[in-house]
Structure 1
Amino acid sequence: MEHTSAAPVVRPARPEDLPRLVELMREHMVYERSAPRPAGLADRLGAQLFADGARLWVLLAETPRGEVAGYAACSAEFSFWEARHYLHMDCLYLAEEARGHGLGAALMDGVAALARTLGLGHVEWQTPDWNEGAIRFYDRLGATGKPKVRYALPVE
């Protein structure tokens, strides 16, 4: 019998986590209706994430049984108007069956702790405007949204 009262575990990703992380990323891409990415994602990501001096961090959430069920991916960014760095959370995703058990809140606590450890004063992220569940979750945490439109310009 699984003990559901165990506290969620949030930990930094390790190189051996890359296959599971990429599985979760692919689920996330489908969930957000994004185009699939080219082959070799694990190799490209691992080379960046685990390089000496990398300014990228991935935190993983584990179920009480030790299964990796979600991730938060972050990097340090610079706010020109604030003239200081902040932590940008590029992605937060939980496998569907892992939602509603405190793993998302544990990941957000881990992200906030990472920002504090790095000496960064705040965290920023975005979510699709149609993702009402995520918006309710972030609102419950006390986060505030800013209406903007995100653009991307291919230059290759």
Structure 2
Amino acid sequence: MIRPATPADIPAIHTLIRELAEYEKALEEAKATPDQLHEALFGDHPAAYAHIAADDTTGETLGLALWFLNFSTWRGVHGIYLEDLYVRPTARGAGHGKALLTELARLCVERGYQRLEWSVLNWNAPSIAFYEALGARPQDEWTVYRLTDDALAELGAGPDRAAV
């Protein structure tokens, strides 16, 4: 069963995010709190959305797709950027990941969005094979850049303090 997340799902979402961070060997970077997730997903101005894969019988949360809208200036329309897709190891191979991606693709088609994009770690061969089997293709000509922590603070302090 795939369904939109509700506020009651926040503890499970938080747990799944931490499980994903551990799988990606970056647990120390997973600093989001349940309160932050609640505000981002269900506050007055939601910045992100989530869908849950749940067991049809027990309702147990088995997977998560957390996403937000992006915008293509070239196409002139929104798309979905999938921030996190995670299915618990014990539930993998049962179609939950594909069902989550199918739901996001359905939303794109229904709403006129023209892209569904995400990033995957280069070493994550099982995920890469899964995505490519669905028809997704890597965008090898692009390199992701990121500013965080001290570098972000320094640049954000303005030209008088940035050492560029």
TM-score tier, shorter chain, comes to 0.7 to 0.9
**1:14 corresponds to which residue?**
6
**2:29 corresponds to which residue?**
36
Match of 2:67 among 74, 77, 92: 74
**1:63 corresponds to which residue?**
55
Where 2:114 maps in the other structure, the secondary structure is coil
* Deviation sequence 1:98-133 (CA, Å, 0-9, x none): 100111111111111222333212201111011100
Where 1:151 maps in the other structure, the secondary structure is coil
Classify 1:74/1:103 alpha carbon distance in 2 versus 1 (closer, same or farther; 3 Å): same
**1:3 corresponds to which residue?**
none
Task: Output the CA distance in 2 between the equivalents of 1:117 and 1:62.
Answer: 23
Which has the larger helix fraction? 2
Where 1:88 maps in the other structure, the secondary structure is strand
Where 2:29 maps in the other structure, the secondary structure is coil
Classify 1:61/1:134 alpha carbon distance in 2 versus 1 (closer, same or farther; 3 Å): same
Match of 1:96 among 89, 95, 108: 89
**1:111 corresponds to which residue?**
104
Where 2:117 maps in the other structure, the secondary structure is strand
Q: Over aligned residue pairs, what C-alpha RMSD do you find?
A: 1.6
Deviation at 1:53, TM superposition (A): 4.7
**2:145 corresponds to which residue?**
151
Q: Read off the aligned partner of 1:93 and give its amino acid letter.
A: Y
Matching of residue 138 in structure 1 with residue 114 in structure 2? no
Matching of residue 121 in structure 1 with residue 114 in structure 2? yes
**1:6 corresponds to which residue?**
none
State how many pairs are aligned. Answer: 147
Normalising by structure 1, report the TM-score: 0.87
Deviation at 1:55, TM superposition (A): 4.7
Normalising by structure 2, report the TM-score: 0.83
Where 1:11 maps in the other structure, the secondary structure is strand
Instruction: Say which structure, 1 or 2, has more relative contact order (CA 8 Å, 6+ apart).
Output: 1
Computing the radius of gyration over CA atoms, which structure comes out larger, 1 or 2?
2
